[in-house]
Amino acid sequence: MKTDVLVVGSGIAGCAAALTAAREGADVLVVTKASEPEDANTDWAQGGIAVTQSDPESFAADVRRASDDTADPDAVDVLVSEAADVVDDILVDTLEVDFDRAGTSSSEDDDFALAREAGHSERRILHVDASTGEHILRPFLAYLSDHEGVTIRDDTAALSLLTEEGVVRGAVTLRDGEVEPVFAGTTILATGGIGACYETSTNPPGATGDGIAMAALAGADVSDMQYVQFHPTAYDPRSDPNVADADADDAPEPFLVSEAVRGEGAVLRNGEGERFMPAVHEDAELAPRDVVARAVARERDATGRVVLDVSPLDFRDEFPDLADLCDDRGVDPDDGIPVAPSEHFLCGGIDVDDCGRTTLDRLFAVGECARTGVHGANRLASTSLLEGLVWGTRAGETAAEQGRDEAREIEYVAPDDRDPALPKAFTEKKFDRLGETMDQYVGVERIPDGLRSARARIRRLKGEADAYARTRVSRSLFELRNACICSLLVARAAAESPSAGCHHLTESEEAIHADD
């Protein structure tokens, strides 16, 4: 099969790239592992999408400050300068997303109910309750499904990139057990993050780092992999006194408690009922995520639990979706919501320029799998959807120009598939071991000895996955291989890099648990 532009992934960044490329007249094929919208990270996004208000420099300053002053200033300027136009064009005018309204303003420019989250110096976040992602992604997918220039193949995994003398010519795909090469003029990776590398994550289970692993194997530059952001407030069944066994199969599922809740006044209290964030940072609960996550982890270790006290706000009225999630799990918000840090977002990834071009010819990357430089060592809240939109549109336009009528077939060797399939439990157990290793050694805080242990364990897991994948074509095996590759990249980068932002390296286990 041939196409002008191949997009791998169907989150907001992939959708933006596909839409823009189709607008430029390219024939676009989207292949995605997702079979339902909720399989994509975008659908899980709660807080919203930050937009530039009357003071763009304030927005840019907030992004840089949250990044521990490591963000690329040029990339930040691109994000901030294009935010309003791309949000208006795609989300407001094209998709007609029904963002929450203030209900009290007569001004058309000010009638959106703008939220504030940690790290933001003002209210600038568009949202739909606390489930913004699904209100963006689902109409986006429906719109693309009706677009004459776009074809979507769901439940389709990309196994590897097709290359010819350093030029990417498409990808090998797997659908319904059938392997098929897709030859493309240009290829855009939009495969999301690496949440499946960790035991505890706010990502969907399909976030196995496929794009990053495929790009790395093909020779593309990858950087800043040590910067794995942990969200400080995910519901924690392990410290919920109403949960008898948090590890049981029927234990309640964790869920993300949006940063917007703290933006509206909720506070964090330790197991002794003490509010602790004012002593940690001048912005207290609205400090950058990495600061809050480390503080929550330490207080939880020291006092047994941390809860988010939502009594300062009308929680059920302001966040009905989150209230429903609490009700589903038997959590009474009036008693405080038990929380703990959880893997949330990868700030690094495949190196790209301001148009999403990687270091390999005709290969682009957008969204969480890409390292644009916007986030540096730590991402500012509610900028991931915006980054996906801005770089998705830029990459889509550039890829269309370069890829139109340029697809051509090349010789390729189909993967070997001669041995019997493995039982499902095989990869499940390997993923469990990988997640336990990453949570234990490559989490919120890291020590050199732990990172060495992690690398040794992950190399063994990757060796097993590689050995079985040589003679079997299995989506789960390829996902395991990809997750192992990404985990190794994270652990290696963490061992070789000084602390910054969400990468916090200490010298000993005792230092991690020492009082501030």
Positions marked catalytic: 289
| Rounded distance between C-alpha atoms, residue 274 and residue 204, angstroms | 33
**Is residue 430 helix, strand or coil?**
helix
| Rounded distance between C-alpha atoms, residue 86 and residue 82, angstroms | 6
- Cα angle: 23, vertex 86, 362; to 5 degrees: 55
Q: 3-state SS string over 330-386?
A: CCCHHHCEEEEEEEEEECCEEECCCCCECCCECEEECHHHEECCCCCCCCCCCCHHH
CA 305 to chain CA centroid, Å, is 26
| Rounded distance between C-alpha atoms, residue 280 and residue 268, angstroms | 12
| Rounded distance between C-alpha atoms, residue 182 and residue 3, angstroms | 7
Q: For CA atoms 152, 156, 157, 158, give the dihedral sign.
A: negative
| Rounded distance between C-alpha atoms, residue 1 and residue 79, angstroms | 35
Q: 3-state SS string over 85-127?
A: HHHHHHHHHHCCCCCCECCCCCCCCCCECCECCCCCCCCCEEC
Q: Which residues contact 335 (CB under 8 A, 6 or more apart)?
A: 307
**Cβ atoms 357, 350 nearer than 8 A:** no
Q: How many residues does the chain have?
A: 516
The alpha-carbon radius of gyration of the chain (Å, integer) is: 22
Nearest to 403 by CA among 352, 362, 359: 362
